[in-house]
Structure 1
Amino acid sequence: MRAGRSLPALLLGIALAGPAGAAVDIDGSYGDKEGCRYVETGESSGADFFFLLDKEGITTAVSYCEFQGEGRKVGGATVVKAGCHEEGSEEVTPYELTLTPDNGGYTISFADGTRWGPLARCGK
């Protein structure tokens, strides 16, 4: 990606790219309270932290991780490659994420032991 592009431009490009990032079998949106507010209203509360998971990727208050390629089942979890873009940086960093079902939601784990979640299903 060329320098000078912003996170909104990246997200718009991803949204317009179509089903390429839709290779993970997530049947809705999952997040914490602020992440679900974001998906339901389209507006951020300004919270320093929020997490939102959908079939395209994971959005946080300061980053976006787009799923790349097909996820693969490992036990009850799904392992998927993702390209993550931090706010304020044009660099996309590759990661392998594990999405583990957790009480009707998901927990996201990184290879370094970082965990996000559990994220509950958003909406009604």
Structure 2
Amino acid sequence: MPAARALPALLLGLALAGPAGAAADIVDGSYGDKDGCLYSETGESSGSDIFFLLNKEGVTTAVSYCEFKGDGKQVGGATKVTAECHEEGSEDVTPYELTLTPDKGGYTVSFPDGARWGPLKRCKK
């Protein structure tokens, strides 16, 4: 009987850990500009109108947030990942396939329309 009770708890734990484990494989830390890394450390904005932060959950800027959805897939030396992006002041969600390209010890984030953010350097711990 105790083993029967443990199985549902184990399955629930695996289900909850699954997406987080997949997202952790997209990037191996936090990357950003000076203000983005400060945001990563403190959770508070410096007040800058422009900042960029890339981590395992997504990409955050001063005016938008793109949350990674699902696994990233390797294409050449880059990683392509589906993201849902929200702009400040809007409840609309725009899906994108972002490309994360290793660039000088960090990453450049590219959008399908040619927009690029980066290179974003690894944040110091």
What TM-score do you get using the length of structure 2 for normalisation? 0.81
Higher relative contact order (CA 8 A, sep 6+): 1
Distance 1:62 1:24, change over 3 A: farther
Deviation, 1:123, is: 1.1
Please list the CA deviations of residues 2-48 of structure 1 after superposition, one character each: whole Å capped at 9, or x if unmatched: xxxxxxxxxxxxxxx86536264211000011100111122211000
Question: What percentage of residue pairs aligned between the two structures are identical?
Answer: 73
Q: How many residues align?
A: 108
Q: Which runs of 5+ in 2 are unaligned?
A: 1-15
Moved over 2 A (4+): 17-21
- Residue pairs, 1:1-124, within 5 angstroms: 20=19, 22=23, 24-124=25-125
CA RMSD after TM alignment = 1.6
- Larger Rg, first or second structure (1 or 2): 2
More helix by share: 2
What TM-score results when the alignment is normalised by the length of structure 1? 0.81
Q: Which runs of 5+ in 1 are unaligned?
A: 1-16
